[in-house]
Structure 1
Amino acid sequence: MAGTQVVVAYTDYKSPYAFLAKDPTYELERDCPVRLDWRPYILDIPSYLGSARVDNAGTVLEQDRNAHQWRRVRYSYMDCRREARKRGLTILGTQKIWDSALAAAGMLYAQRIGDAVFRRYHDTVFERFWKRDLDIESVNALAAVLSQAGADGAGFAVEADALRDEAVAISRAAEARGVFGVPTFVVADEIFWGREHLPEIRAMLASA
């Protein structure tokens, strides 16, 4: 469409902040003359928040975090759950640091099929993962989600490794651009980190 701008939206399924940004980002495309270009950015959480594994009761089984990192992690979940309650969403703390590269590969696969399939996949992966109802490291589990979304799940299983490499390459390119976290939005080469910038992005689009 003439006059339509592109907003690049970087996301990662293992980020609760990216989950909370998903629907408001959809609304940006609904309300403004903009096309969203969703891209994966695979977070390396242990590099800045350490790592840990807990059981169903929240007992720490193993961990590599200092006290400051634990405080940040606990606050992050408290902050996200506070917002999630307002919107009727469920965010259960993860029991380990997940590798989301395969889920990002599924995102790329869904996008090739079309917007409707992508959105069904995107919504389902986020919602089920944060209910602890989806193994995002399982090719078969993600292939099943893709099939339910209207794609060829068996085809994804064949292409998963190559698409995973592509998702990693997109993440490295994002870092070269200055991206370091999610959700991150890029508008006319200007970077915005965090969903709190969406009103500012709306204003920019309206005045363009």
Structure 2
Amino acid sequence: MKHITCHFDFISPYAYLAFEQLPEALKGLSYRLDYRPVLFAGLLKHHGQLGPAEIAPKRDWTYRQVQWLAHSHGIPLELPAAHPFNPLGLLRLALACGQEGLVNRYIAQSVFRHVWRGGADAADAQRQEALRATLQPQRDPAGADVKAELKANTDAAIARGVFGVPSFEVDGRLFWGFDALPVLRQYLEGNAWFTGGAWEQAAALPTGKTRS
């Protein structure tokens, strides 16, 4: 049985799509899957990147593409009233419902659908309070221990080479994005391509030129 860790942030529509598609994408396989929330903004800051929503033309394309992907895969999705938004409250709420930096699928699903279904304001204080009443976290989402868990998750993800969400980690390999689900499945099924050297060769390709 393979152990998969899903690094994700509720702010990402691709993470939502991947979350909803996972049961079908990995149907019939033997695996254990851990859901580990991270702060996407922390990954971006570490790697010196802008998020898709911070580049105007890319922002437009992102929202068009995720709606098409949802439509084509039969996944319900309505863009929230405003995006991007500050996801810290939702990330901490989820972690307050879990333990040791992990959340179960029910908690992750509840928060993802709070954001990506219904078209409401994901960061609205009253909506978040209602979600908290539903989930009944065992710990205070604003507590120091929960905040520390989120930072630890993010730092650990960076140390493992995670640069975006969703990222699926298995056997020390990272599979990034909604469109990586078929690749992840092929790996779990034992496709010989992954032992033929191409995976390692891609990382060894010399850099020809860098921007100054």
TM exceeding 0.5: yes
Q: Distance in 2 between matches of 1:168 and 1:14?
A: 16
1:205 to 181, 188, 194: 188
Aligned length: 183
**Inter-CA distance 93–71: structure 2 relative to 1 (3 Å threshold):** farther
Distance apart, 1:106 and its partner CA: 2.3
Distance apart, 1:81 and its partner CA: 0.6
1:172 to 155, 168, 172: 155
Partner of 1:101: 88
| Structure with the larger strand share | 1
**Inter-CA distance 142–121: structure 2 relative to 1 (3 Å threshold):** farther
Kept in 2, the 8 Å contact 1:99–1:137? The answer is no
Query: How big is each residue's C-alpha offset from its partner over 1:114-146, in whole Å with a ceiling of 9 and x where there is no partner?
Result: x9x8333222211221234354474x7546425
TM-score, with structure 1 as normaliser: 0.73
**1:129 partnered with 2:115:** yes
Q: Distance in 2 between matches of 1:94 and 1:174?
A: 29
Q: Distance in 2 between matches of 1:190 and 1:97?
A: 29
Distance apart, 1:107 and its partner CA: 2.2
Moved more, 194-203 or 24-33: 24-33
Distance apart, 1:147 and its partner CA: 4.1
TM-score, with structure 2 as normaliser: 0.72
Partner of 1:192: 175
Q: Distance in 1 between matches of 2:143 and 2:128?
A: 10
Distance apart, 1:179 and its partner CA: 0.7
Partner of 1:157: 140
2:23 to 11, 22, 26: 26
**Inter-CA distance 196–158: structure 2 relative to 1 (3 Å threshold):** closer
**Inter-CA distance 184–29: structure 2 relative to 1 (3 Å threshold):** same
Query: How big is each residue's C-alpha offset from its partner over 1:25-70, in whole Å with a ceiling of 9 and x where there is no partner?
Result: 234565311011111121126850487xxxxxxxxxxxxx6xxx10
Percent identical residues: 24
Partner of 1:70: 56
